[in-house]
């Protein structure tokens, strides 16, 4: 690993100013928990000249809830704190479950929500230093080991977004807030912020050089809101998912008024099952409607030769998560 300069940032603006000086010869990167950047540095994929530590900036880890304005997660709030927050668990149970089921206790104690959303793909070709710089197209990789890759939107890139909390955050219609070195702030919906991997970009997200992600907000839950999250893994101990699903419903008794169904680890970004959402509106959600909605969720899947098994797994997980939401 090449040596690098370490800077403890004192403010968001200072961190943003330091990050804006980054260029291809002198790479400057932000560090939150440092888990993903350390992995990438050890793998020889990332070699920064300067690391800007965000953990020295006060109050970036606050978690606040208000019935009128909703939830505010400071970028440095860890997955462990999000999963154990009483207010998150009561008002956004799918997010609490997604945070609780990510990784291991040690990782959750360190991983920040901002860093989690900005982590790079877990694709083993992307993470291989020999293949990384000349990453072949998804088409060229069709015969490769793609069993954990995307079953939707996989023509340009078949890598899936690694963040599992993102699945729940998109279901709750989360917004990401960013600040630049002049203190100017902007906000963007998380489902527009997350982007498919592209060799030309350093992040799989619409973050500009010199911007710091400061916090994530969620609207307040509707009085009749129901939600659920499920992560399907190969083994019962900690594991990356085959797929995960988060569902947020607004109900009138047992009738669905509005639905948000988000499927993770099956496309380059968390994917809304829009046809299923439309199909549910105005219906009484029971076993047979859940089955119909789950079939619609996978109807336009385009699996690769080695990952067609993900289609029935995903269909089952959508059906079970729908039923869990109204249980
Ligand atoms: C064994 C293991 C299992 C795992 N399982 C899961 C899982 O099931 N689900 C899951 O979602 N993840 C999982 N992970 C990944 C882990 O959750 C992420 O590596 C972690 O969340 C990254 O957060 P961090 O704070 O350490 O980010 P960092 O490594 O500090 O940063 C990640 C990226 O974000 C940038 N960044 C961070 N904060 C900011 C900011 N505020 N503004 C601008 N840029 C910023 C950094 O520059 C870097 O590019 C697993 C990891 C391990 C090691």
Q: Could you list the residue range(s) of the whole structural domain that residue 39 is in?
A: 5-56
For ligand 1, residues with CB inside 6 Å are: 29-37, 54, 75, 102-104, 107, 110-112, 114-116, 118-119, 162-165, 212-213, 238, 240
CA-proximal residue: ligand 1, atom 28 (nearest) = 34
pLDDT tens-digit map of 38-74: 999 999 999 999 999 999 999 999 999 999 999 999 9
pTM: 0.96
d(Cα 165, Cα 241) in Å, to the nearest integer?
12
pLDDT at res. 135? 57
Atom of ligand 1 nearest to the CA of 116: 21
In a domain, 272, yes or no: yes
pLDDT at res. 138? 54
What share of the chain has pLDDT > 70, as a percent? 97
Domain final residue pick, 56, 74, 91: 56
Select from 50, 77, 103 the residue to mutate for testing ligand 1; criterion: most ligand atoms less than 8 Å from CB. 103
Residue ranges, the chain, pLDDT below 50 = none
**All residues at 6 or more sequence positions from 3 whose CB lies less than 8 Å from its CB, including other chains:** none
Select from 111, 121, 127, 230 the residue to mutate for testing ligand 1; criterion: most ligand atoms less than 8 Å from CB. 111
Distance 284 CA to ligand 1 centre (A): 39
Atom of ligand 1 nearest to the CA of 202: 49
Distance 267 CA to ligand 1 centre (A): 19
Domain final residue pick, 16, 32, 56: 56
pLDDT at res. 84? 98
Q: Is 226 helix (H, G, I), strand (E, B) or coil?
A: strand
The DSSP secondary-structure symbol of 52 reads E
CATH number at residue 23: 3.30.43.10
| Sole residue written with tokens 């002198």 | 26
pLDDT tens-digit map of 193-225: 999 988 888 899 999 999 999 999 999 999 899
Residue 249 near residue 258, CB atoms below 8 Å: yes
In a domain, 199, yes or no: no
- Surface-to-core class of residue 60, CB atoms within 10 Å of its CB (0-12 exposed, 13-18 middle, 19+ buried): buried
Distance 36 CA to ligand 1 centre (A): 5
Select from 35, 74, 108, 234 the residue to mutate for testing ligand 1; criterion: most ligand atoms less than 8 Å from CB. 35
Rg of the chain over Cα atoms, rounded to whole angstroms, equals 20
pLDDT at res. 139? 54
pLDDT at res. 130? 78
CATH number at residue 296: 3.30.390.50
In a domain, 304, yes or no: yes
In a domain, 22, yes or no: yes
pLDDT at res. 109? 98
């Amino acid at each position: 690993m090449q040596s690098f300069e370490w800077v403890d940032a004192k403010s968001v603006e200072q961190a943003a100013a330091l990050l804006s000086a980054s260029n291809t010869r002198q790479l400057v990167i932000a560090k939150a928990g440092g888990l993903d950047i350390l992995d990438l540095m050890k793998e020889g994929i990332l070699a920064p000249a300067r690391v800007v530590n965000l953990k020295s900036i006060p109050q970036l880890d606050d978690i606040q809830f208000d019935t009128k304005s909703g939830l505010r997660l400071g970028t440095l709030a860890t997955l462990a704190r999000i999963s154990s927050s009483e207010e998150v668990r009561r008002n956004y149970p799918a997010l609490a479950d997604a945070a609780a089921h990510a990784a291991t206790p040690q990782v959750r104690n360190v991983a920040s929500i901002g860093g989690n959303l900005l982590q790079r793909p877990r694709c083993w070709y992307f993470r291989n230093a020999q293949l990384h710089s000349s990453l072949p197209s998804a088409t060229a990789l069709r015969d490769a080991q793609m069993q954990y890759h995307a079953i939707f939107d996989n023509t340009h890139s078949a890598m899936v977004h690694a963040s599992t909390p993102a699945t729940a955050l998109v279901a709750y219609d989360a917004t990401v807030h960013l600040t630049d070195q002049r203190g100017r702030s902007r906000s963007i919906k998380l489902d527009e912020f997350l982007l498919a991997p592209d060799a030309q970009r350093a992040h799989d997200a619409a973050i500009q050089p010199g911007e710091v992600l400061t916090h994530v907000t969620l609207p307040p839950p509707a009085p009749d809101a129901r939600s659920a999250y499920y992560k399907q893994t190969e083994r019962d101990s900690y594991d990356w998912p085959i797929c995960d699903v988060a569902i947020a419903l607004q109900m009138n008794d047992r009738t669905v008024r509005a639905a948000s169904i988000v499927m993770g680890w099956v496309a380059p970004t968390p994917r809304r099952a829009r046809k299923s959402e439309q199909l549910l509106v105005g219906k009484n959600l029971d076993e047979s409607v859940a089955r119909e909605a789950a079939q619609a969720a996978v109807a336009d899947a385009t699996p690769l030769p080695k990952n067609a098994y993900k289609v029935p797994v995903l269909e089952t997980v959508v059906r079970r998560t729908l039923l869990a939401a109204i249980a």
